[in-house]
A and B are shown apart, each in its own frame.
Chain A
Amino acid sequence: MHNRVAIVGIGQTTHSGRRPYVNDGELIYDAVTRALADANLSLKDIESVMLGNMDLFEGHHLNDAMLSLYSGAMGKPGFKMNTGGTVGTMLAIQGWYHIASGMFDTCLVIGWEKHDEGPVTPAITTITDPSVDRPFMVGAIGGLATVSIDYMNRTGCKLEHAAMARANASLNAARNPNAHLRDKYSMQDVLNARMVLYPLNLLMCCPTSLGACAMVFASESKARKITKKPVWIKDHVTVHVEYGGAQFGVGEKRWTSHMQAGSTIFKRNHITNPRKETQVFEMYDPFAFAIPSWMEDFGICDTGEGWKLVEKGAIALEGEYPINPSGGVMCTNAIGDSGMLRVAEAALQIRGDAGEHQVTREVKQALASGFGGSYWTDLLLLSKTTD
């Protein structure tokens, strides 16, 4: 049986599209000092440090070593993970492994990205095989547009429903001082935005932001000494699927990785009614159809029910099942940091420390997901208590 792992400190920078007055290291240092302050710890108390992002977004090879001064890793153990869009959630899971394995009592994990410095779309294009499909890829949006069309055809969801989800995210982000895009939009505002690739318009795609998020994890004995409000990582799962390339869309168009991740977590934790037994979901939602369609894939609701819940306002801050009270990836997307923000924001909701974007229902258990790579999924279940 593994050692229990708690989140005992959370720090995030504010997020924006440009922040020229700090360099990469200073951005990370900002998040790290906030997380340490939140945990009321000093760097001396931290046994290991992990830094993660996607290398080619800023161009630095081995940047965990290069930025070791700013992350606090100097003279400490740690290593870098890089799994694409899931890197933020993977870092949280990496932190979990460090402590659950019994090898460490405390660790600091940092996810970051500074998208204003590098070429985002060309870097994303290089996820493909150079010999076959790289010449034909333009960023990540093509595949997402395809599945959006399929979702609409399959379930009766309309463009309006994606716009509703996006509008809801904007209202939430307006209450989150750390979010990047904080303008409020109505459903009509979203529908009026410039079309990028049908059915996704500019507001239905995630932005490119910069920012960093740091978290301190601790073993049970340490956690109880550090904080009165530890948030426990009750379970986590990672599910990969084959590299799709052109094949995606030929076979199934649903996210098998989300489906398997959801069913695994719910089964292992005896959750039969996820909308009741978990109270909030911080979902990695890189496009506006993500929330309605992925609620179904994760098993939060039945097939065809996702957009109806959006229509009913269930996902709102004060709704039946709030999703992304932080505003989500639609409003803030610094890729290496996006996944970790999901975990951090879910933990803040459990602590009741989310401030203006705290959901109205009491949160005992929360979900946080990561998405990336060739349609890969990380899913974490956080809990207020250890039982």
Chain B
Amino acid sequence: MPDRVGIVAAAMTKFEAAKPWQHLAELVLEVTDKVVEAAGISLQNDVESVVSCSQDHWDGRTISSMPIPDVTCAHLKDESKVAGDGAYAVLYGAMHVLSGDHKLVLVVSHCAESHTDGTIIENWSIDHVFTRMLGLDYTMAAAMQARRYMDKYGVTPEQFAKVVVKNKGNAKKNPYAQESATLSVNDVLKSKMLADPITVMDKKPVSDGACAMILATEEIAKKLTDKPVWIKGAGNCYDPHFLGDRELADCDALESASKKAYKMAGIKNPVKEIDLVELSEYYSYQELLWTEGLGLCKRGEGGKLIDSGKTQLKGEIPINPSGGLLSGIPVTVAGMSRVAEAVWQLQGRAGERQVPGAKLAVAHGCGGICGQMHCVLVLEKGGK
């Protein structure tokens, strides 16, 4: 990073299978109020720009950011909308600060998956000329990716199930999590099969919620908090869209994104230097595959990594101490909530799921079919 961008505070709603009492804008209002209070700032006077993140299809509204200026006090201010994963909105907010254009930026994201049918939206994100009419959605595509991953590297459904067991277990310590459970590998393997090898437990549940954070220049962040979190590195990348254009068992885009972020942050040995990782596993196998892309193990060794226990909450490199996406986080909010969790960890505010002494964390967001685009942020604990 050319300069340091500070995350002053982060806030999330509790994630729930449905939030029928709240308008989409009220989800944003809830987290905006929380984050402004946590940062001890005035929304009206201090926030110079709002970066929101939502998607027209998910909201059923062209320009889904239409009601956002109303609840973020952005009347006659700068507001812009990232239409992708929330981690990109954090990156874009950081660019606002780095460019010197804005000193204090509010970043928000929201999504209510429960008010529509996500498989339709997934299908409409797939190539319309050759593929969409087949009725493909992300679960089928993910199943094919998981199968390829198993075939190429010998990773097993048992190892996928271990991710579910770990993450749903971690979620018990996270009051914001939607679903938590004490499970066995067998419980996961025996649950309803969706698309071989993905069972209903291997897939992230439908979820509603929102997330917000305050980004600021180094100077202001230090003034506002004695626990700033610095964005030390960032990288993002697209993979090809067509499944047949990619080697599905490897995630080149994530490798490229993480390498760039690590280089920026000066990280040479990710496993040793990074204290925890919050990543976006829409399906259980993705946590294993993404750990490879994030350079936490060699290609094909994601299965061995979960077997080793190193990624458990008390392990050498805890992955998703929050419970991850498998505990229920909506798309769009997903990546931003990973950043928020990492921020809380580095601020020592993660409660029972706190990783002791966490100084350096990686947050990861992704989107598209089989994780077609990835965004990696390296965060560092500031202050004492």
Residues of A within 8 A of B (CB): 1-3, 23-24, 49, 54-57, 59-69, 73-84, 90, 93-94, 96-98, 100-103, 123-124, 126-130, 237-243, 256-257, 260, 372-374, 376
Residues of A within 8 A of B148 (CB): none
Check: B244 CB closer than 8 A to any chain A CB.
no
A94 to B49, CA, bound (A): 14
B79 to chain A: closest residue by CB: A240
Give the residue name and chain of the A residue nearest to B374 (CB).
Answer: A77
Q: Indicate whether A55 sits within 8 Å of B57 (C-beta atoms), given known contacts A74-B238, A242-B70.
A: yes
A64 touches B84 (CB 8 A): yes
Residues of B within 8 A of A90 (CB): 80
A65-B125 in contact (CB<8A): yes
Measured between C-beta atoms, what is the minimum distance from A60 to chain B in Å?
A: 6
Task: Give chain B interface residues in 37-76, CB to chain A under 8 Å.
Answer: 49, 55-57, 60-67, 69-70, 74-76
Cβ contact within 8 Å between A240 and B241: no
The proximity string for B residues 88-123 relative to A, scoring 1 for CB distances below 8 Å and 0 otherwise, is 100110111011110000000000000000000110
Q: Does the CB pair A242–B69 fall under 8 Å? A: yes
Smallest Cβ distance from A50 to chain B, in angstroms?
10
A286 CB → nearest B CB, Å: 15
Q: Is the CB of A75 within 8 A of B92?
A: no
Is there an interface contact between A2 and B241, defined as CB atoms closer than 8 Å? no
Asked whether A240 lies within 8 Å of B78 as measured between CB atoms, the reply is: yes
- What is the bound-complex CA distance between A242 and B74, given in angstroms? 7
Q: Give A90 to B95 CA distance when docked, in angstroms.
A: 14
Q: Which residues of A contact B91 (CB under 8 A)?
A: 79
Given A75-B252, A103-B95: A127 and B2 interface contact (C-beta under 8 Å):
no
Contact B63 A372 (CB under 8 A): yes
Which one of B311-319, B341-349, B365-373 contacts A?
B365-373
Q: Is B126 located at the chain interface by the 8 A CB criterion?
A: yes
List B contacts of A68 (CB < 8 A): 238-241, 372
Per-residue interface assignment for chain B, residues 258 to 302, with 1 indicating a CB less than 8 Å from any chain A CB and 0 otherwise = 001000000000000000000000000000000000000000000
Interface check B234, CB cutoff 8 A = yes
Residues of B within 8 A of A61 (CB): 55-57, 121-122, 124-125
Residues of B contacting A65 in the complex (Cβ-Cβ under 8 angstroms):
125, 238, 241, 367-369, 372-373
> Would you call B256 an interface residue if the criterion is a C-beta within 8 Å of the partner chain's C-beta atoms?
yes
* B375 CB-CB contact with A under 8 Å: yes
Q: Distance in Å from the Cβ of A108 to the closest Cβ of chain B? A: 13
Known: A79-B91, A240-B74, A241-B75. Contact between A102 and B2, CB under 8 A?
A: yes
A78: contacting residue among B1, B49, B238, CB under 8 A = B238
Residues of A within 8 A of B337 (CB): none
In the complex the two chains form, is B241's CB within 8 Å of A54's CB?
no
Could you say which of B63, B241, B252 contacts A83, with CB atoms under 8 Å apart? B63
A244, B61: Cα distance in complex, Å: 16
Known: A61-B55, A103-B98. Contact between A75 and B256, CB under 8 A? yes
A189 to chain B, nearest CB (A): 33
Cα distance A260–B75 in the bound complex, in angstroms: 11
**Given A74-B240, A83-B65, 7 other A-B residues pairs in contact with their CB atoms under 8 A:** A64-B238, A65-B241, A78-B236, A82-B63, A129-B66, A240-B78, A242-B75
Bound Cα distance A256, B76 (Å)? 8
Residue from B98, B101, B242, B253 whose CB has the most chain A CB atoms within 10 Å: B101
B353: CB under 8 A from chain A?
no
Q: Are B237 and A243 in contact (CB under 8 A)?
A: no
B131 to A, closest residue via Cβ:
A66
The answer to whether A2 touches B99 (Cβ under 8 A) is yes
Q: Name the B residues within 8 Å of A127 (CB-CB).
A: 61-63, 66
**Total contacts A-B at CB 8 Å:** 199
Pick from B3, B95, B256 the residue with the most CB of A within 10 Å: B95
A232, chain B: closest CB distance, angstroms: 15
Chain B residues whose C-beta falls within 8 Å of the C-beta of A374 in the assembled complex? 66, 69
Q: How many residues of B contact A (CB 8 A)?
A: 67
Task: Tell which of B236, B256, B367, B375 touches A62, judged by Cβ atoms closer than 8 Å.
Answer: B367
Residue of B nearest to A63 (CB): B125
Most buried by B among A2, A60, A82, A96: A82
Knowing A69-B240, A238-B80, say if A126 contacts B124 (CB, 8 Å). no
Set B70, B127, B242, B367: member contacting A243, Cβ < 8 A: B70
* Given contacts A62-B125, A82-B56, A83-B63, A257 and B81 within 8 Å (CB-CB): no
Contacts of B3 in A (CB 8 A): 102
| Residue from B77, B98, B128, B238 within 8 A of A73 (CB atoms) | B238
Name the contact of A79 in the complex, choosing from B94, B121, B125, B373 (C-beta under 8 A).
Answer: B373
Cross-chain contact B69 with A74 (CB below 8 angstroms)? no
CB-defined contacts of B96 to chain A, threshold 8 Å: 97
Closest B residue to A61 by CB, please name it: B125
B236 touches A238 (CB 8 A): no
Task: List chain A residues, Cβ under 8 A from B64.
Answer: 82
Instruction: Please indicate the chain B residues that have their CB under 8 angstroms from the CB of A130 in the complex.
Output: 60-61
- Name the B residues within 8 Å of A63 (CB-CB): 125
Residues of the A chain whose Cβ atoms lie less than 8 Å from the Cβ of B63: 54, 82-84, 127, 372-373
| Chain B residue contacts of A103, Cβ below 8 A | 1-2, 95, 98, 234
Determine whether B82 belongs to the interface, using a CB cutoff of 8 Å to chain A.
Answer: yes
Check if B129 is an interface residue, CB within 8 A of chain A. yes
Residues of chain A contacted by B375 (CB below 8 angstroms): 79
B235 at the interface (CB under 8 A from A): yes
Given contacts A55-B55, A373-B66, contact A60 B125 (CB under 8 A): yes
Residues of A within 8 Å of B55, CB to CB, are 55, 61-62, 82
Shortest Cβ distance from residue B197 to the other chain A in the assembled complex, whole angstroms: 25
The residues of A that contact B8 with a CB separation of less than 8 Å are none
Question: What CA separation (Å) do A61 and B60 show in the bound complex?
Answer: 11
Q: With an 8 A cutoff between CB atoms, is B9 at the interface?
A: no
- B257 at the A interface (CB under 8 A): yes
User: For the complex, what is the distance from the CA of A81 to the CA of B54, rounded to whole Å?
Assistant: 10
Q: How far is the CB of B103 from chain A (nearest CB, A)?
A: 13
Contact B77 A240 (CB under 8 A): yes
CB nearest neighbor in A for B78: A238
Q: How far is it, in angstroms, between the C-alpha of A103 and the C-alpha of B377 when the chains are bound?
A: 13
B78: chain A residues at CB < 8 Å are: 237-240
The distance from the CB of A309 to the nearest CB of chain B, in whole angstroms, is 27
Residue pair A239, B236 in contact (C-beta under 8 Å): no
Nearest-neighbor residue (CB-CB) of A374 within chain B: B66
Can you name the residue of chain B whose Cβ is closest to the Cβ of A24? B128
User: Closest chain B residue to A102 by CB distance?
Assistant: B2
